[in-house]
Amino acid sequence: MVNYPKYLDSPDPWSRLVKSMTIMCRSLVVACGLTAGALGLGAAQAGAQPPPPPPAPVVGEVPPAWAPPKPAEVWAGQPVVWNSGWGGRWGVWINGGFITLTSNPVTNGG
C-alpha cells in the first residue's frame, strides 16, 4: 500500500491531478538540477587562464602644443611618454599599466 500525502485524498479529481502534476514537475526539476551538477554543466574550467594584456604602447603619442613640459626622460627605467587618456598626462607604462606623473592640464588637477 502506498501512502500518498493527505492533500491528494481530495474528492475532486481535477485538484488531485493538478497536485500530483505539481509534485512530478518539482521532482523533475530537482532531478535535472542534480544531473546538470553531476555533469558539471555551467561550471567554469578550473585551469582557464585570463587573456594576456595588450602590449604597452611604450612609444607614446605626440603631445599637443598645450601639454605641460615633460617632467623627465626616464622614470623607474621606463621612458616617459604622453598619453591622451584622462585629458592628457605624462607618465610611464609599467607591466601593462600606465602610471601618471603629471596632473590633468585641462582641469589642473585629478
List the grid coordinates of 2.
502506498
Q: Are 96 and 103 in contact (CB under 8 A)?
A: no
Looking at residue 74, its pLDDT comes to 93
pLDDT tens, 20-37? 778 887 887 888 777 777
> For the chain, what is the mean pLDDT?
76
Looking at residue 17, its pLDDT comes to 73
Comparing 52 with 96, which gets the higher pLDDT?
96
Distance CA 87, CA 110 (A): 10
pLDDT tens, 69-85? 999 999 988 899 998 88
Q: Which residues contact 98 (CB under 8 A, 6 or more apart)?
A: 56, 83, 85, 91, 92
How many CA atoms, within 13 angstroms, populate the side-chain half-sphere of residue 54? Answer: 3
Distance CA 48, CA 25 (A): 36
Domain ranges of the chain: 6-39, 50-110
